[in-house]
Amino acid sequence: MQRDLPLSGVVVVELGDSASAPFSGKILAELGAEVWKVERPTGDSARGWGPSTWKGSGAAFHALNRGKRCISIDIKDRDQLKTLHTLIAERADVFIHNLRPGSSAKYGLDADSLRVTKPELVYCEIGAFGHVGPLNTLPGYDPLMQAFSGIMSITGEEGQPPVRAGVSIIDFGSAMWAVIGILSALHRRQVKHAGATVNASLLETAMAWMSIGVANYNADGEPGGRHGSGVAFIVPHRAYSTSDGDLIVSCANDPLFARLCAALGHPEWSTDDRFATNAGRLQNRAEIDRLIGEQLAKETRAHWQELLQGAGIPAAPIQTTAEVVAHEHTRALGIIGTPSDDEIGLVGLPLSFDGRRPPPLHAARDIGADNDQLPEVLRIRP
């Protein structure tokens, strides 16, 4: 099936470290591209991320880098840097990097330099604060951008310290935006026969995730607050405790709320002036949340999940990683897979083509494992 994937025949060179650029490369590899991952001799930082490891590298590294060819190049070494330039010039359709801002030009790896020999190159740079502005040369990581963008100001419980999302939503989101830009540039290249520079950044991604928050603030001047598992603009739309666990219940409109009231045995709530509309429920959030919570606490999570889902009310249990991995629906989706029985199970591409998900790719390789696979003219010599 690999040859039938949309990006079959596209060659990508990824000079990526940590999460954002490597995740972009992984997406492109799973879409069928031939991806050459370039690491420094000591390896990608993610190889040392713990506590979980697999075959000598952090499990996180495997999650971000399977399906790629791994080569080791020291870009501070003139001869090895020349090898990288030759690889890009002779093979690459796409070059991705997340080098520290400003350092690409030092090594001739900026877009203008590379296009001298490769005019049709699609060049993608994933920065921290963006490619313009007074902070554009600063480095950055996912939690910094959750903080700077305002995401952490609306995440967590009111009156408690701010918290970040438990997954790297900014790194992964930036990788996705980069891939969207790359695919758009490849499409345009077919028509105009010209390369393009794609700029993505962690901060711009974080700002995109704040789209509703910014719109709300610009509408009424209110900065928003923390609502725990809920949100500022919909009630009910949060977690409630049952007798044996927690359940998210979401009623994004008034008819759904009326259906919830009936399912909970209190249809009168939906005609109460305090609760009949979302605007009213926002004004009386504490009271309606108390009433719903008291009802849900009387039965088990499974009881309410079955009853609410049967009534067409969106509800889901808050599961642990162990629970979601073992769930029959996760298994039915086939989104966690391995290329062979002796490999770690990893989450695959969240896409299907003609009803089929791209198959699991080979595991992430050791540092420099594919140096000898470079064409002879490009082979790194001691």
> What are the pLDDT digits (tens) for 196-233?
999 999 999 999 999 999 999 999 998 888 898 998 89
pLDDT attached to residue 1: 42
For the chain, strand residue ranges (E) read 11-15, 34-39, 53-54, 57-58, 69-72, 94-97, 122-127, 196-201, 237-241, 246-250, 315-317, 336-337, 346-347
Same domain, 286 and 147: no
Please state, in angstroms and as integers, the Cα–Cα distance from residue 57 to each residue in 42, 60, 192, 245, 331, following that order: 12, 8, 42, 35, 26
* Domain residue limits at 169: 2-209+335-378
> What are the pLDDT digits (tens) for 181-190?
999 999 999 9
pLDDT attached to residue 379: 55
- The burial class, CB within 10 Å (0-12 / 13-18 / 19+), for 52 is exposed
**Contact between residue 36 and residue 68 where contact means Cβ atoms under 8 Å apart:** yes
Bond from prior residue into 236 cis (ω within 30 degrees of 0): yes
Do the domain assignments include residue 282? yes
Do the domain assignments include residue 226? no
Task: Report the percentage of the chain scoring pLDDT > 70.
Answer: 97
Residue 376 has pLDDT above 80, yes or no: no
Q: Which residues are catalytic?
A: 171
Q: How confident is residue 374, by pLDDT bands cut at 50, 70 and 90?
A: confident
Q: How confident is residue 375, by pLDDT bands cut at 50, 70 and 90?
A: low
**Contact between residue 122 and residue 186 where contact means Cβ atoms under 8 Å apart:** yes
Element (H, E) at 146: helix 142-148
Looking at the 3D structure of the chain, how many domains does it have?
Answer: 2
Do the domain assignments include residue 232? no
Pair of tokens at residue 165: 């999302």
> What are the pLDDT digits (tens) for 251-281?
999 999 999 999 999 999 999 999 999 999 9
> What are the pLDDT digits (tens) for 71-90?
999 999 999 999 999 999 99
Which CATH number characterizes residue 281's domain? 3.30.1540.10
Strand 53-54 relative to strand 57-58, pairing:
antiparallel
pLDDT attached to residue 340: 82
- The burial class, CB within 10 Å (0-12 / 13-18 / 19+), for 326 is exposed
Name the residue with higher pLDDT: 41 or 222: 41
Q: What is the pTM of this model?
A: 0.90
- Phi/psi at 43 (5° precision): 95, 165
Name the residue with higher pLDDT: 320 or 381: 320
Do the domain assignments include residue 95? yes
Return the half-sphere exposure (C-beta side, CA atoms, 13 A cut-off) of residue 222.
9
Instruction: Return mean pLDDT, the chain.
Output: 93
**Contact between residue 240 and residue 247 where contact means Cβ atoms under 8 Å apart:** yes
Dump the DSSP string for 216-263. HHHHH-------BTS-SS-SSEEEEE-SSSEEEEE--SHHHHHHHHHH
Q: How confident is residue 382, by pLDDT bands cut at 50, 70 and 90?
A: very low
Strand 336-337 relative to strand 315-317, pairing:
unpaired
pLDDT attached to residue 222: 86
Do the domain assignments include residue 158? yes
Same domain, 133 and 253: no
Same domain, 300 and 339: no
Same domain, 311 and 348: no
Same domain, 261 and 165: no
Least confident of 1-10, 62-71, 145-154, 351-360: 1-10
For 128-245, strand residue ranges (E) read 196-201, 237-241
> What are the pLDDT digits (tens) for 301-338?
999 999 999 999 999 999 999 999 999 999 999 999 98
Do the domain assignments include residue 214? no
Mean pLDDT to the nearest integer, 368-373:
89
Mean pLDDT to the nearest integer, 95-112:
93
C-alpha to C-alpha distance for 187 and 63, rounded to whole angstroms: 28
Do the domain assignments include residue 65? yes
Mean pLDDT to the nearest integer, 281-288:
96
Do the domain assignments include residue 113? yes
**Contact between residue 155 and residue 101 where contact means Cβ atoms under 8 Å apart:** no
Same domain, 254 and 177: no
Which CATH number characterizes residue 37's domain? 3.40.50.10540
